[in-house]
């Protein structure tokens, strides 16, 4: 079934540890995004990639990094986790047109202790 796969589903992480959230899509979409979702706030864009080999910073990029070595994969890395990074993280992709809807993965629930 075509779609976006995120791993892990959930994770408890000690502060200061490094963590990579994985995201893979099989829809051949060029544009991919990482969002975090916190209670009472809208989805906030962390990083994005318009095509393989390029990445950009979103609204809340500090403490996060991404890479886009190929079309399918878009991992998000927390170099040294802090408690404020406790959140639900969603990876999303979009077809070529800017008015195409986003397709979301099922999310990763991350708790930093």
* Closest distance of CB 77 from another protein, Å: 21
Contact status, residue 14 vs residue 101, Cβ threshold 8 Å: no
Q: In whole angstroms, give the CA distance from residue 15 to residue 31.
A: 31
Tell me whether residue 14 or residue 40 sits nearer to another protein (CB atom): 40
Q: In angstroms, what is the minimal distance from the CB of 50 to another protein?
A: 10
Residue ranges binding another protein (CB under 8 A): 40-45, 90, 98-99, 101-107
Q: Which residue's entry shows tokens 């999303």?
A: 92
Closest distance of CB 81 from another protein, Å? 22
- Per 3-state DSSP, the chain is made up of helix, strand and coil in percentages (nearest 5) of 5, 45, 50
Nearer to another protein, 44 or 63 (CB): 44
């Amino acid at each position: 079934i075509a779609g976006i796969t995120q791993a892990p589903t959930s994770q408890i992480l000690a502060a200061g540890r490094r963590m990579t959230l994985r995201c893979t899509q099989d829809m051949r979409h060029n544009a991919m995004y990482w969002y975090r979702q916190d209670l009472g706030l809208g989805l906030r864009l962390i990083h994005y990639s318009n095509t393989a080999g390029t990445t950009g910073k979103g609204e809340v990029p500090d403490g996060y990094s991404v890479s886009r070595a190929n079309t399918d994969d878009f991992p998000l890395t927390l170099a040294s986790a802090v408690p404020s990074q406790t959140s639900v993280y969603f990876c999303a992709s979009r077809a070529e047109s800017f008015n195409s809807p986003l397709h979301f993965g099922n999310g990763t629930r991350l708790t930093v202790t």
